[in-house]
Amino acid sequence: MQAHSLKAEQRIIGQEPYYEPVADEIEVFEAAYDNRLPVMLKGPTGCGKTRFMEHMAWRLKRPLITVSCHDDLTAADLVGRFLVKNGETVWTDGPLARAVRFGAICYLDEVVEARKDTTVVIHPLADDRRELPMEKLGELLEAPPEFNLTISFNPGYQSVLKDLKQSTRQRFVALEFSYPDPELEARIIERESGVDGEVAGRLVRFAEMTRNLKGAGLDEGASTRLLVQAAKLIHHGIPPAAACRAGVAQALTDDPDMLAAVNELSTSLF
């Protein structure tokens, strides 16, 4: 039993990923793609940004190369570096250079977490030059028309230190994401977990109650992703209240009072 591994640029999505559009996001993304403009996704965790990207990659028939950004991610991690292999020094493309080279869609998830040099290295790619300077090679890589750069971040968590500079922001077409409306969200839960509409509906009502607590004790309300996880536990036979405790409440907060309050909400519903 060994895991399967594949080259990043071979990750072409063959089957349509399930995605329910909430507004004109598919049209705007396609217009940006056709005009070779980079895109910026904004929205809270677990509301479907990653799934949207998989859907668009499928729709546009391009490989999708995703990079989860963090505060040790350097420009070299994105662009590439020299590695010594068997006595030969070979250049190894990073995921961004790989995406440019193969005309893939490059998705930089939570880009505000990255070090500042990574946001600067995308500047020449994100204006009409559409070129990636590979300074260690002394080369410029010109992006083919199929290449697209998309970044995402959660505006609710941006701090002053981790804000995107205007010189970065003002290069992107921006799409805002939010939680789906109740009916749509219940349909997603049913489809992803196998629970029935009744349970799905109660989970959505539970989520809405937690979202109302955002800023009043909770940093964030329950995401669609969390609801799907709790629904899976229920579908497996865990009692709904226990599933909501383990699958939602404990994931949301460590505060004993908030935990009690959130658990009370779920037991009132199930």
- For the segment 196-255, give every residue that binds a second copy (CB under 8 A): 219-220, 222-223, 225-226, 229, 232-233, 236-238, 242, 246-247, 249-252, 254
Q: Are 188 and 182 in contact (CB under 8 A)?
A: no
Indicate the pairing of strand 148-153 with strand 88-93.
unpaired
Q: Does 190 bind a second copy (CB under 8 A)?
A: no
Task: Give least dist CB 189 to a second copy, A.
Answer: 13
Query: Cα–Cα distance between 17 and 51 in angstroms, integer?
Result: 7
Query: Cα–Cα distance between 242 and 235 in angstroms, integer?
Result: 12
Q: Does 257 bind a second copy (CB under 8 A)?
A: no
Task: Give least dist CB 270 to a second copy, A.
Answer: 15
Query: Please, which of residues 165-184 interact with a second copy by CB under 8 A?
Result: 165-167, 169-176
Q: Which helix (H) or strand (E) holds 235?
A: helix 224-236
Task: Give least dist CB 121 to a second copy, A.
Answer: 7
> Segment contacting a second copy (CB under 8 A): 44-52, 179-187, 197-205, 261-269?
44-52
Given the complex with a second copy, which of 153 and 202 has the nearer CB atom?
153
Task: Give least dist CB 200 to a second copy, A.
Answer: 16
- Map tokens 């460590």 to a residue: 254
Q: Which helix (H) or strand (E) holds 105?
A: strand 105-109
Q: Are 209 and 218 in contact (CB under 8 A)?
A: no
Q: Does 79 bind a second copy (CB under 8 A)?
A: no
Which whole-number Å values give the CA distances from 218 to 76, 202, 230, 255, 266, in the listed order? 37, 20, 18, 9, 15
Task: Give least dist CB 152 to a second copy, A.
Answer: 10
| Single-letter amino acid, residue 137 | L
Task: Give least dist CB 159 to a second copy, A.
Answer: 11
Among 12, 16, 21, 27, binds a second copy (CB under 8 A): 27
Given the complex with a second copy, which of 33 and 186 has the nearer CB atom?
33
CA neighbor of 265 nearest in space, from 212, 219, 206: 206
Q: Does 69 bind a second copy (CB under 8 A)?
A: yes
Which residue(s) pair with 91 in the sheet? 82
- 156 SS3 class: helix
Query: Please, which of residues 144-163 interact with a second copy by CB under 8 A?
Result: 144, 146-147, 154-155, 157-158
Task: Give least dist CB 41 to a second copy, A.
Answer: 10
Q: Does 266 bind a second copy (CB under 8 A)?
A: no
Query: Cα–Cα distance between 194 and 185 in angstroms, integer?
Result: 14
Given the complex with a second copy, which of 50 and 202 has the nearer CB atom?
50
Binding mask 124-143 for a second copy (x = CB under 8 A): x--x-x---xxxxxxxxxxx
Q: Are 31 and 176 in contact (CB under 8 A)?
A: no
